[in-house]
Amino acid sequence: MSDDSPFLSALRRLDAVAEVVDIPEETFLRLRHPKAVLTVSVPLRRDDGSLEIFTAHRVHHNDLRGPGKGGLRYHPDVTLDECKALAFWMTCKCAVMDLPYGGAKGGIAVDPKSLSLLELERLSRGLIRRIAEFIGPQLDIPAPDVYTNERIMGWMMDEYAHVVRRHEPAVITGKPLALGGSHGRSDATARGGYVCIAKLAEERGWKPAETTVAIQGFGNAGQGIARLLDEAGYRIIAVGDSSGAIFSEDGFDVPSLIKAKNETRKLEAVYCEGSICDQVDANRISNAELLELDVDILIPAALEDVITTDNAANIKARTILELANGPVTSDADDILDEAGITVIPDILANAGGVTVSYYEWVQNRSGDYWSADEVRQRLENRMSYQFDRVMELAAEKEISLRMAAYALALKRLGESAEAVGTRDLFNGKD
């Protein structure tokens, strides 16, 4: 873990990028201070009749470019400081993708696996009742995150409608299709990450069959990227979840892995033919060992701070795709840079999710819904265009892709700050 708090660690990247881009000082000042934070207590009546109180947070980081956008996560380690860091990254991510949003984030400090389905629904609806005045289609639009999903988003949208006494599908994204969700949202994060890999592969002449991949985190995003890479011919040789990891030099049958994981909630090396699944040979390893495997592409797709100063020097992957938010600490950046490891940063690599959330919001507000093919084509076009902009800036400034992504985000945020007026305007220099 970084010695800094998550938010202070995230802000260190502002200091680094300030040396390579000419941005109004006021832009940096604005980004150092979240606009608003809310902490609430959410009571939950358990199935046995007992009452338990959970702490929840929601952070509005910045709204220069539009209403706040960001996920709601359920995890025992949710803290206000973590939410501030995640909201900051969302501000930058939306600017990189040139979306009309600012950054927001939130969550409940809870282990959702300890709750029954009815308890999970009651907690989700209770959260919305507590924060209803803090969210809205033009104020802050939550979405799924760690251990939340489209069903939970559907409950939240429904509860918000009860609170405000009107139908407001645009208040929440990542909903079920039947409740106004968008085609292509469920695999959007993975598909956006895949576009980044495909673009880099084209530039570097990679041959998928000769390219090895390790994926740390096998939830929705991890499974999605595994499926897309497998279909393209890449060799997935290691995957991990919260219980550990499995490794096979020959690679895995990815559809069978996904089937077994989703049906048993266990990560087992299997080959499935029809409904029959048989165990196959694989090595059990730790997630720490997975991160240090000698692979071409490493994909952290779980939580923050898994690559730190403690293990960065041991990373052997040639390319890292940050499908999780903040998997590499700011302290570890220099170590990876010196080792010549290419990092496709989270604010670009996993931006497919928020991009299709934007498309869902647009569809909800217009009442015009798009086909899956149209959504995916729009996503691929936008991801490809912004990836090229980041690559061009990295080459022009001779900086890393992370610094280039932040530089692009800050350039756009700086333009918004100048549009509302900075010191140069008010002292007559502009």
Can you give the length of the chain in residues? Answer: 430
Sign of CA dihedral 252, 253, 254, 260: negative
Specify which residues 59 forms β-bridges with: 37, 105
Is 1 strand, coil or helix?
A: coil
Residue owning tokens 């995230």? 10
H-helix or E-strand containing 148?
Answer: none
Query: What is 186-211 written as a DSSP string?
Result: TTHHHHHHHHHHHHHHHHHT--GGG-
| Rounded distance between C-alpha atoms, residue 334 and residue 338, angstroms | 6
Spatial contact of 88 and 97, defined as CB atoms under 8 Å apart:
no
The sign of the CA dihedral 356, 361, 365, 369 is positive
Contact 12, 4 (CB under 8 A): yes
Catalytic residues: 105
* CB atoms inside a 10 Å sphere around CB 161: 15
Strand order in the sheet with 51-62: 36-45, 51-62, 102-109, 68-75, 140-144
